[in-house]
Amino acid sequence: MPTRLRRSSRIAELKTLVKRAWRRRIGFRIGVIIVVFAITMAILGPFIAPYPEEGWGIASPETQLRGPQPPSWEHPFGTDLVGRDMLSRVLVGAGYALMQITIVVVVSLVIGLIVGVLAAYSRGLIERILNYFTELFMAFPAIIIAIALNTFGIRGLFVVIISLIITWWSWYARIAYVYARSIREMEYVTLAELAGLPSYKIIYRHILPNTLTPVIVQAITDTGSVLLEAAAINFLGLGLPPDYPDWGVLVQNGFNYIYSYPWISLIPGFFILLVALGFSLLGDNLREELDPKMRHRWKLWF
Amino acid sequence: MPVSLNYLVKRIFWSLLIIIGVIILSYIIIISAPGDPARIWAGNPRGEKAIYAIQKAREELGLDQPLPIQILKYTLQILSGNMGISIEYRVPVVDIIWRGLTATLELLVVSYIIGVSIGILLGVESALRRGSRFDGLMQSLAIILANAPSFWLGIGVIVLLAETIGFTGYGRIDPYIMYQTGFHPITGFYLLDALIQGNFAVFIDVFLRILPPAIVVATYPLGLGLRVSRALIAENLNEDYVRVAVAWGIKRKIVIWKYAFRGAIPSLTQVMGLAFAYSLIDAMIVEVVFGREGLGSIAFSIIGKSDYTLITGLMVTVTIFYILMNTLADILQAIIDPRVKL
């Protein structure tokens, strides 16, 4: 079956890319280790946490008595204001972090791919209109949208995800457009058109598969930035409520007491940095392996 | 000049179209959110007659008209430089935003001067020594700085300064020094105002207060500048014209800065111009962490207050700033790069 053959070759391409990057680049190896570590943390976190119920945010009289304690053998990351074990909170928080960025990246990627590929395929007015909307949404920063929603008292996970999706899809649309546009000018697409292949088949068979790999690689790089923005929204108190074990919220919890108990803010923040760094290393190195010429296109760096 | 008038007009017209779209979209997002600004404008009336008061407030705000007319009116209003009156503070939105924008821009410009200059210097140095240990160190530094959450770095800097030298002076200016020396803002950029008035006590005070947050905001342009300039210059150093220059015996310094670096300026301008627009948001967050006044703290002061005029004004300001910077970076790059013909 031709379809199966094509799909497997697509996966094979990604596989060789990953293998080559792994062999040649230390940065890529470090990135893989960090990301695998983060995913393990997200899945196993709630189970291996030493004090799981404290990790989820439950404070008991026992923890109240404990109070904020600096890092020790019993509590490697110290305890927070009401005595909850920070290690457990950080471990449970990994799941929240990965869930938020996965939803945002996957949904934005799908919207972006559809808009970008459609814009590239349909010349003329529709192309103009889709590009106009892409550029329009690029101008909105996620945090401003989150603040606007908060001005009217809307809060929660919904705010984080919606405000990030509203802004991020446009970046993927732009990248998908750039690649799909260059493929659209290729001779085999023109030949397929002349042969009378319907346009949805051309998009599905020729344009989409060849756009997919570079856009996914870009998405991996962006995942770090999405995490940073989500954490900033949560830190500012615009997203998840104060007792959730999200890393941004944890940094916020310690923020008013940084002179007395600095570890409450500094330790979860370090994990945000680490995971963002891991995704950046992964994506950057993959991209440079994928297409060394891509380094010229600075505009796609963001 | 390699830029044609045709390109300039097209580019500016396109940006104008996007700005109008941004205004319309912002208004739609805000107005479709729940919450009743008319109730707050009327002063939260209670009792039997409340409904009439709210109705009157709604007419005053123009919220009783159909949506397309509201949007049209708002767009024309913004384009004529009027953003309405804040529901919460009852003063013109433009005044509030101008005050915040100058404070935020001051922070942004100072941090940009720090970040870009250090970033480019380190980038050039590591391009010259590519493959060395220094280069590896700089590459890792750049990627770590570009990925560090700014609010967390801000907290780190606050803790560090307090622990080492006991510095806790935040905010924009010491009101006591301001009062004693008779300092008064003219442009809103305090550093500039202090220089105009020859008031060095205030200048030093403002500068010391702006430095810690500026260093935090500077990390992103520093990391980006380092990576971009390193890659661009490393590429240029391999070009034939640089090799010829070296073979001719031209001084090393001149080869680096007048030959290799000159070729990197256009792309560098474009990337850093775009990053300048992004850093505005960073500056707004860091401002909140350091307790300075500015756009960030304005945004925070109206959370849950249904102040739709102020939040739309803020949204429009930030997005227009981004679009203007983007356009400017594009045009500037086209003007200074002789290779680009548009």
Q: How far apart are the first and last CA of chain B?
A: 10
C-beta atoms of B151 and A144 within 8 A: no
The pLDDT, as a whole number, for residue B340 is 63
The pLDDT, as a whole number, for residue A291 is 64
CA-nearest of B30, B90, B42 to A152 is B30
The reply to whether ipTM tops 0.90 is no
Low-confidence ranges of chain B (pLDDT < 70): 1-3, 35, 44-45, 169, 338-342
Cα–Cα distances in angstroms (integers) from residue B44 to residues B40, B52, B146, in the given order: 5, 12, 46
A255 vs B33, B155, B285: nearest CB: B155
Total CB pairs under 8 A between chain A and B:
143
Low-confidence ranges of chain A (pLDDT < 50): 1-5, 294-302
Does B285 lie at the interface with A, CB-CB under 8 angstroms? yes
The pLDDT, as a whole number, for residue A8 is 55
Does A151 lie at the interface with B, CB-CB under 8 angstroms? yes
Q: Which of residues 218-247 of A touch B (CB under 8 A)?
A: 224, 228, 231-232, 235-236, 238
Does B137 lie at the interface with A, CB-CB under 8 angstroms? no
Are B209 and B173 spatial neighbours (Cβ–Cβ below 8 Å)?
A: yes
C-beta atoms of B319 and A139 within 8 A: yes
- With b meaning 16 or more CB within 10 Å and e meaning fewer, what string describes B5-30? eebbeebeebbeebbebbbbbbbebb
Does B254 lie at the interface with A, CB-CB under 8 angstroms? no
Q: Which residues pair with B92 in a beta bridge?
A: B85
A148 vs B29, B144, B267: nearest CB: B29
pLDDT in tens, B218-267: 998 898 888 888 888 888 887 788 888 888 888 888 888 888 888 888 88
Instruction: Kindly list the residues from chain A whose CB atom is less than 8 angstroms away from the CB atom of residue B304.
Output: 150-153
> Against a cut of 0.90, is the pTM above it?
no
The pLDDT, as a whole number, for residue A295 is 45
The pLDDT, as a whole number, for residue A50 is 75
The pLDDT, as a whole number, for residue B61 is 74
CATH classification for the domain delimited by B94-301, as one of 3.10.20.600, 3.40.50.300, 1.10.357.10, 1.10.3720.10? 1.10.3720.10
Instruction: Kindly list the residues from chain B whose CB atom is less than 8 angstroms away from the CB atom of residue A143.
Output: 281, 284-285
Cα A51 to Cα A86: distance, rounded to the nearest angstrom: 9
Does A210 lie at the interface with B, CB-CB under 8 angstroms? no
Give the domain ranges of chain B.
1-88+304-336, 94-301
Q: What is the DSSP string of chain A?
A: -HHHHHHHHHHHHHHHHHHHHHHH-HHHHHHHHHHHHHHHHHHHHHHH-SSHHHHTT---HHHHHH-S----SSSTT-B-TT--BHHHHHHHHHHHHHHHHHHHHHHHHHHHHHHHHHHHHS-THHHHHHHHHHHHHHTS-HHHHHHHHHHTT--SHHHHHHHHHHHHHHHHHHHHHHHHHHHHTSHHHHHHHHTT--HHHHIIIIIHHHHHHHHHHHHHHHHHHHHHHHHHHHHTTSSS-TTS--HHHHHHHHHTTTTT-THHHHHHHHHHHHHHHHHHHHHHHHHHHH-GGGGG-GGGG-
- 3 state SS of B170: coil
